[in-house]
């Protein structure tokens, strides 16, 4: 693809953003940037260092001395935290339930957004998160907002956990997702909201391939318009 295209995919937790974004990146041979993984990696470090997750100043000092790298490793993307592979560790329950506490701090977001914009500079990218279309890449050529019912999202997380050999409770997953969405939607800095010019896709009844097809359709519309 010769033309530069930036695809922003936002939405609540477990709406299928990263699965879909990875497929789109592969189909279009463009870079995938998982911004949630960046917040997760830093949250893991903050927990390991014993920093109070409410203490914004200590957190930001720690962040300034932290490197987070997203690296393509054949078919998989791996996440390096200060050079160490944390791809699996950042998906743990404790990180999942703490990350929105860290991500609410304005100074943390400011630094992360700067890192994310740099990663996307002069490239075609698909980037997923919560504030990509509204804040990180407000001029993205294609903006998608993925939604799905909380029941469906909890079921997907449950199956994903099962595949990875992690036992979980459906009702508890539902409660945790609701709490995380609540924090992400109600924080003061860059809350999770649909950008005015984003296309909403409800994935509750759709397969991954159907969602991918809808997004590729939007990409083609853009490419033919320009
Ligand atoms: O997409 P995810 O579940 O891996 O994201 C983890 C958390 O990080 C999520 O609770 C909200 C936060 N996040 C954010 O605030 N902004 C982003 N651009 C991406 C993630």
When pLDDT is averaged across residues 159-182 and rounded to a whole number, the result is 90
| 1 falls within a domain | no
- Say yes or no: CB of residue 129 within 6 Å of ligand 1: yes
| 225 falls within a domain | no
Q: What is the pLDDT of residues 120-168, one digit of tens each?
A: 999 999 999 999 999 999 999 999 999 999 999 999 989 988 988 888 8
Residue 2 CA to ligand 1 centre (angstroms): 30
Q: What is the pLDDT of residues 66-107, one digit of tens each?
A: 999 999 887 788 999 999 999 999 998 899 889 999 999 999
- Say yes or no: CB of residue 103 within 6 Å of ligand 1: yes
* Choice from 126, 130, 160, 195 to test ligand 1 binding pocket (greatest atom count within 8 A of CB): 130
Contact status, residue 216 vs residue 27, Cβ threshold 8 Å: yes
Using a pLDDT cut of 90, give the percent of the chain over it. 81
Q: Is the predicted pLDDT of residue 181 greater than 80, yes or no?
A: yes
Rounded to the nearest 5°, which phi and psi values hold at 169? -110, 125
**Residue 123 DSSP label:** S
- Say yes or no: CB of residue 191 within 6 Å of ligand 1: no
Residue 40 CA to ligand 1 centre (angstroms): 7
Task: Give the three-state DSSP class for 124.
Answer: coil
| 222 falls within a domain | no
**Residue 193 DSSP label:** -
Residue 226 CA to ligand 1 centre (angstroms): 32
Q: How far apart (Å, rounded) are the C-alpha atoms in residues 88 and 96?
A: 12
| 150 falls within a domain | yes
| 221 falls within a domain | no
| 226 falls within a domain | no
Bridge partners, 68 (sequence order): 81
Q: What is the pLDDT of residues 188-205, one digit of tens each?
A: 888 899 999 999 999 999
Residues spanned by the domain of 54: 6-216
Among protein residues, the one whose CA lies closest to atom 14 of ligand 1? 130
Contact status, residue 126 vs residue 24, Cβ threshold 8 Å: yes
Using a pLDDT cut of 70, give the percent of the chain over it. 99
Q: Using CB atoms within 10 A of its CB, is residue 152 exposed (0-12), middle (13-18) or buried (19+)? A: middle
What's the pLDDT score for residue 2?
65
The CATH code of the domain that includes 101 is 3.40.50.300
**Which DSSP helix (H) or strand (E) runs through 180?**
helix 170-186
| 224 falls within a domain | no
What Cα–Cα distance (Å) separates residue 139 from each residue in 117, 126, 171? 12, 13, 39
What Cα–Cα distance (Å) separates residue 92 from each residue in 48, 186, 224? 13, 24, 42
What's the pLDDT score for residue 225?
82
Task: Give the three-state DSSP class for 93.
Answer: helix
Query: How many domains, the chain?
Result: 1
Checking DSSP bridges between strand 76-81 and strand 68-73, what pairing results, if any?
antiparallel
């Amino acid at each position: 693809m010769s033309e530069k295209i930036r695809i922003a995919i936002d939405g609540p937790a477990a709406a299928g953003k990263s699965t879909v974004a990875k497929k789109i990146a592969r189909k279009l041979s463009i870079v995938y940037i998982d911004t949630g993984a960046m917040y997760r990696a830093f949250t893991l470090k903050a927990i390991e260092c014993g920093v109070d997750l409410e203490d914004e100043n200590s957190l930001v000092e720690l962040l300034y001395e932290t490197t987070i790298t997203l690296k393509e490793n054949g078919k998989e993307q791996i996440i390096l935290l200060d050079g160490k592979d944390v791809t699996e560790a950042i998906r743990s329950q404790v990180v999942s339930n703490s990350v929105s506490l860290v991500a609410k701090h304005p100074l943390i977001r400011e630094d992360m957004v700067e890192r994310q914009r740099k990663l996307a500079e002069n490239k075609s990218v698909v980037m997923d998160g919560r504030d990509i279309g509204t804040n990180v890449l407000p001029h993205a050529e294609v903006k998608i907002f993925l939604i799905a019912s909380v029941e469906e999202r909890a079921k997907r997380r449950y199956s994903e956990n099962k595949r990875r050999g992690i036992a979980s409770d459906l009702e508890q997953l539902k409660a945790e997702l609701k709490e995380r969405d609540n924090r992400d939607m109600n924080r003061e800095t860059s809350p999770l909201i649909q950008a005015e010019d984003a296309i909403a896709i409800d994935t509750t009844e759709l397969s991954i391939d159907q969602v991918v097809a809808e997004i590729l359709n939007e990409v083609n519309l853009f490419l033919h318009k320009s």
